[in-house]
Each structure stands twice: as C-alpha cells, then as structure tokens.
Amino acid sequence: MPPRELTVRGLLLGALLTIVFTASNIYLGLRIGLTFASSIPAAVISMAALRAFGGGILENNMVQTQASAAGTLSSIIFVLPGLVMIGYWQGFPFWPVAAICGAGGMLGVLFTIPLRRALVTGSTLPYPEGTAAAEVLRAGSGEAGHGAGAESGLRALVTGSAVSAGFSLLSGGLRVLGDSASLTFSAGSAVFRLSTGFSLALVGAGYLVGIVGGLAMLLGAALSWLVAVPVLTALTPRPAGVDIVTFATGLWSHKVRLIGAGTIAIAAVWTLLNLLGPVAAGLRVALRAGRQQHGAGAGDTQTDRDLSPRVIGVLGAALLACLLAAFGAFLWQDAAAAGSPAAALLGVAVVCVVFCALFGFLVAAACGYMAGIVGSSASPISGIAIVAVLLVSLLLLTLDALGLLPGAFDANGRRLAIGSVLFVTSAVLASATISNDNLQDLKTGQLVGATPWRQQVALLAGCVVGAAVIAPVLNLLYGAYGFAGALPRPGMDPTRALAAPQALLLSTLARGIFLHQLDWTMVLIGVALGALLVGADGWLRRGGRSLPVLAVGIGLYLPPTVSVTLVVGAVLSWAINRALSRRETTGRALAPMPADPMLDTTRRRGVMLASGFIVGESLMGVAIAAVIGGTGSENALAVVGPGFAGTATWLGAGAFVLVCAGFAWTILRRRVPA
C-alpha cells in the first residue's frame, strides 16, 4: 500500500489547526504588526495527533501545508482594518471579506504553480522555512533518530499555551495582574516616557525575531520617546488644562508615528530594490527552464506532478469572476445611492480585476523568489502593500483624469476612492502572502517526497478555511477592543485598542493621497531617517553585521509597551542561545561528540514554547473578546476595581519576571536522552 498523503482526517485536522492559528495570527498581527509562521507548530501537532493512527511523514506534511495558510493569509489584516478606520465599514461583513481573502489567496497558489519546477526542484534557492519544516517532519518520523521529538515539542507547545493563556486571563480578563507599566516625566518643557508591557505573546514573538531585530526595535522606541517626543513637546506649546501624558501621547500619535511610517516606507522599498536584480535574474532562468520542460501537469513521476493546466485555467477564471463580483458589490454599495451608472461601475471593477491579475502574478512570482532567498517571514510584504496602495491610487487618479471615474468617487470626502484602494490592495496582498507560503511548502514536499498537486489542493483548502475565519475573528476583536483611532462604542478605553499598525499606515497613506492631508514634513523626516539608517546598515554589513531598518521603523511606529516587550523576548533568545552554544563548545572540547546530544531538541523546545506563548495569549484574547462582545462590557470578567490598578501593576511585573525566568530554566535544564 502506498503511504497515506491527502486524507480526510488530515484535511479535518488541518482545518482545525488553520482556524486556531488564523485566530492567533489575527490577534498578534493587529496588536504588534507581526505574524508568526504556523508550519512548524502545525507539523508538530499533526505528528503527535496522528502517530496513534499510523500517520506518516507525507500525511503530516499535508496537514502542515494546509495549516500554513493561517500564518500567511491572516496578513490580510495589514490592510482590511483600514476600511473601518476610514469609516467606510462599521464592521467586517462576512461575504466580502471571505471573497477577497479566499479568491486572492487561491489565486496566489495558482500563480506560483507554473514556477515550481524552476524555482523549487530545479533551483539552488535555500527556502529556509521550507527546509526547516522538512527537518522537523523527518525528526518526528524517526528519520533523524529523534522519534520522540513530536511528543516533546507538543508538550512544550501546550505548556507555553496554558501558561500564556492563564497569564492573559489574569491580566486582560480578571484584571488581577497589570499588563504594562509606564513612567512619564519632564525636563523643562520636554516630555519623556519609559514603558514596558507584560505580554507573554510579545515575549514569544521577540524570541522568534531574535536579538538583531529586537535591538533594532528598541532603537526605534528610543528614537521615538527619548528623542522625537521630547523635541516636539519642547517646541510645541502645551494647551491649557492638558496633562503631560495626554499631550505627549497626542504628539506621538499624530506626528512621530508618521516619522515611523516614512522610515518603514523607505526601508521596505529599499529592500524591494535590492531584490530586484536577483528576482529578475531568477525569473529569467525560471522561464527558460519552464520552456525546456514539460507542461505544468505533465510530470513524469508522482512527485513531479502539479495540478493540470485545465484545472488551473478553469479555477483561475472562476476566482477572477469571484473577484469581479466582490469588487462590483463593493463599489455598488456606495455608488448606487449617488446615481452612478452600473456600466461605469462595472468598468472600474473590470480594470481593478485586470490590475489584480497582472500585478498579482508579478508580485506572486517576485515574492516566491524572495521567499526562496530570505524566507517567508523576512519577505518585505509591508513594502509590497505600500507599493500596491500607491499603484492603485495612481490607477484611480488616472481614470479620474480621463473622465472614466463615476462622480460617486469624489463624494463624501472621496470615501469610495480611498476604500477602493484598500479593498483592491487586500486582494493583491492575499496573493502575495500565499505565493510566499506555497513555494516554501512545495520545497518541504520536495525534500520529503510529497506529491505537488496534492499539496496545492491542501493549500487551496487552507485558503478556504482561513478566509471563512477572518471576518468573525476581526468582528470579535474590533467589538471588544477597537482599533487605534477607531473605537466602536463611546466610552471605550483607547489604551486597550489594538494598534493595527500597518492598516493605520496604509489608510493614512491612501487618505493623504486623495485628500491632500498628509503631514509630509513628518513623513519626509522619516524618509530621511530611513535613508541614514540604510546607509548605516550598508556600512555595518561590511563587517558582517546588520541593522534591520524596517524593524527600527516598526519600533518608532508601535507603542513602547509593545516594542520594549518584544526586546525582552529577543534578549532572552540571545542569552539562552549563548548558554546553549557554550554548552556545545564545552562538550566538543571534552569529547568527540557534544556533551548534550539533545541540544537540537533543546533549541526546538524553545521555539515551541515561544510559539505556545503566542498561541495561548492570542486565543485567550479572542475568548475574552467574545465575552466582552456578548456582554457589552469591557470589565465583564474583572474581579477588582480601578483602585487595584497600582497593586495589579506590581503583581503583573513580578509574575512576568517569574514566567520569563521559568521560560529560560525550562529550555536550559538538561534532560536525559530518551
């Protein structure tokens, strides 16, 4: 009997994991602007869950392929919340969101299928995340001599999730523990702030980001609250009756964040420009190789067979029709009331679909190649979103100049034009993120001997499940916490709102283009700062070091309670890996083999614990949001009153330090090999 590969039980398990990790990534992405790769946690859970039923490496690979859509398709939240922030939507309607996410994501899968042979099987690109997932699958199946790796990794994931969920319940729900601490002080008229948060999800994210990215974010936070805010508060007269905390926060929100936006934009575009050469050369090789080989569906062996060209063509046409319907319904919602003719609206929708098809394919190919070089997590998706917003804005402005844009686009503060830019960009971003993921998964499949067309079916299924989850989770989180600058109900606490940094940046950019309201002085200061940092990065790279400019921009843009907490996780990662390296070096000095034969398992245990921290807090955040949404009260679970806030802050700080110490001890303690 051939080994099981694409099975019903695997699809069901993959769907469940997709739901869990999509919800986790949406919460994390809205809070800090980062998502985490779900392939390796999904592979570990699948290996542990299916081991009792005889599940093999190929079946586990299909599960992680399907669930990996959660870590990528959820990146759509970098754009979609902007529609609420500009007031176009009051919530997230299910069908438009599901259509744009599902159709865009599935098109991303189809766009990259013709490139598989040249960019994966016939390429020397490293595909770091795909290769790592293959190693985890091999280790869990016993190929690498670590048959117990799956159970150990699952225990670490569950433990981290339970601890993080409990901590989040005590802080965000019961309010017994504080979730942050801040100190605001002034020197003359200049205002400074020192802040940190007590989020275990952010610790886990910082652990995965690493020390270089973490210190870059810390630099951004320092530039924000120890340089930019003090300078602006010293130069700007403080209105009468406004305390220094409100005054400083207002200047940071309306001015300093635009500096961060400029830095992010220049860093993202610079990254894209640096990759243009390798991407263009790689695509030329891909096209030459594709002409020399068989058609997309005519592989000579089972492990070299994609979906057939007929299936790709029929499904692609159906997905483009779905996008056309989604764009048409989106435009009709606002333009019909203004008396815009249906033919004109249909024409705009067709132009947007053609743009998505052409630009989406180019972006999918470029992103797939970039993922092979730097990995999916490091691929500059933010830069692609910024470029897409600029191009779609230019497209609509061109149609307007030609007299082809209905008058409804100029009404209500050009709300329809701004909303259309964000809606179309969402489809492009869905294609881009899934193309990143598809080629990584196909690389994993190549290394473990999987069937490409079955992986493509699994990923298409993951897009469908993920698209169905996104709107309900977004509605839950928006109703419970709100977004920065967009609170659903009066009287809500703005300090507990989710930052949604990319969505705020892109909506600000689109609004500024059409309404001429962008504070270009602050943006240009950010661009100049970004250029200086890019130069510093180039100089450091000569000595083998680097300065992630995008991370500095994110540190400027995010609240310090987020960025500083990420740094805590990054420092933990550095300290733990340094201790493990010393242990390995000592072992090699004493014996031919390392003293700790479980060292690789130890490092994997750290990754799984960190992932558990993210998953636990994120899911508890979604659960608390459901309670708040159902009761209509932000304090539905609170067991203490506002007078307990000071004590809760000290308790939260103490508990946070204890958990971080326990995290390090759990990873570093020696275990007897099984």
**296 found inside a domain:** yes
What are the tens digits of pLDDT across the range 618-664?
778 778 877 776 776 777 788 888 788 889 999 999 999 999 999 99
Element (H, E) at 181: strand 180-187
Closest by Cα among 245, 560, 286, 270 to 387: 270
Domain that holds residue 53: 8-156+269-496
The confidence score (pLDDT) of residue 140 equals 65
Residue 517 has pLDDT above 80, yes or no: no
Residue whose pair of structure tokens reads 């709300």 in the numeric block: 415
**Crossing angle of helices 149-168/39-50, nearest 10°?**
120
Instruction: State the pLDDT confidence band at 607, using cuts at 50, 70 and 90.
Output: confident
72 Cβ contact list (under 8 Å, min separation 6):
35, 105, 376, 433, 434, 436, 437
Residue 146 has pLDDT above 90, yes or no: no
| pLDDT-wise least confident of 36-50, 126-140, 305-319 | 126-140
Tell if the pTM clears 0.75, that is, is over it: no
Closest by Cα among 244, 148, 266, 147 to 193: 244
Q: Which residue has the higher pLDDT, 631 or 390?
A: 390
Burial pattern 344-354, b for ≥16 Cβ within 10 A else e, equals: bbeebbebbbe
Tell me if 65 sits within 8 A of 455, measured CB to CB. Answer: yes
Q: Which residue has the higher pLDDT, 347 or 47?
A: 347
Residue 592 has pLDDT above 50, yes or no: no
Secondary structure tally for the chain: helices H, strands E: 25, 2
Biggest CA–CA distance in the chain, Å, is 82
**301 found inside a domain:** yes
| pLDDT-wise least confident of 68-77, 423-432, 564-573 | 68-77
Tell me if 72 sits within 8 A of 434, measured CB to CB. Answer: yes
Mean local confidence (pLDDT), 335-343? 68
DSSP secondary structure string, 67-84? HTHHHHHGGGGGTTHHHH
The confidence score (pLDDT) of residue 3 equals 72
Instruction: State the pLDDT confidence band at 317, using cuts at 50, 70 and 90.
Output: very high
Closest by Cα among 559, 425, 432, 562 to 82: 425
The confidence score (pLDDT) of residue 673 equals 44
Residue 144 has pLDDT above 50, yes or no: no
Tell me if 527 sits within 8 A of 263, measured CB to CB. Answer: yes
What are the tens digits of pLDDT across the range 489-506?
887 878 778 888 788 888
Residue 593 has pLDDT above 60, yes or no: no
Residue whose pair of structure tokens reads 């997905």 in the numeric block: 319
Cα 468 from Cα 622, distance rounded (Å): 16
Give how far Cα 171 sits from Cα of 27, 55, 167, 177, 624, Å.
16, 39, 6, 4, 11
What are the tens digits of pLDDT across the range 451-501?
889 999 988 998 999 899 999 999 988 988 888 878 888 878 787 788 887
Cα 12 from Cα 356, distance rounded (Å): 31
- Total domains in the chain come to 1
Instruction: State the pLDDT confidence band at 66, using cuts at 50, 70 and 90.
Output: confident
Instruction: State the pLDDT confidence band at 103, using cuts at 50, 70 and 90.
Output: very high
**Would you mind telling me the total number of residues written for the chain in this entry?**
674
Residue 398 has pLDDT above 70, yes or no: yes
Tell me if 108 sits within 8 A of 430, measured CB to CB. Answer: yes
What are the tens digits of pLDDT across the range 440-454?
888 888 888 888 899
**201 found inside a domain:** no
The confidence score (pLDDT) of residue 660 equals 92
Instruction: State the pLDDT confidence band at 298, using cuts at 50, 70 and 90.
Output: very low
Residue 64 CB coordination number (10 Å): 30
Mean local confidence (pLDDT), 273-278? 66
Tell me if 556 sits within 8 A of 221, measured CB to CB. Answer: yes
What are the tens digits of pLDDT across the range 353-374?
999 988 888 777 767 666 665 5
**49 found inside a domain:** yes
What are the tens digits of pLDDT across the range 545-566?
888 887 788 788 777 887 888 8
**261 found inside a domain:** no
Q: Which residue has the higher pLDDT, 146 or 238?
A: 238
Cα 416 from Cα 394, distance rounded (Å): 15
Share of the chain above pLDDT 70, in %: 83
Tell me if 444 sits within 8 A of 137, measured CB to CB. Answer: yes
Label each residue of 521-532 as H, E or C.
Answer: HHHHHHHHHHHH
**644 found inside a domain:** no
Instruction: State the pLDDT confidence band at 591, using cuts at 50, 70 and 90.
Output: very low
Residue whose pair of structure tokens reads 């859509």 in the numeric block: 69
Tell me if 105 sits within 8 A of 482, measured CB to CB. Answer: no
The confidence score (pLDDT) of residue 301 equals 64
Give how far Cα 379 sits from Cα of 67, 203, 475, 502, Å.
19, 22, 28, 15
The confidence score (pLDDT) of residue 622 equals 73
Instruction: State the pLDDT confidence band at 96, using cuts at 50, 70 and 90.
Output: very high
**470 found inside a domain:** yes
The confidence score (pLDDT) of residue 295 equals 47
**Crossing angle of helices 415-448/501-515, nearest 10°?**
140
What are the tens digits of pLDDT across the range 4-54?
888 888 889 888 888 888 888 888 778 766 676 677 777 777 877 887 777
Closest by Cα among 146, 145, 142, 127 to 445: 127
Cα 335 from Cα 542, distance rounded (Å): 55
Residue 143 has pLDDT above 70, yes or no: no
**237 found inside a domain:** no
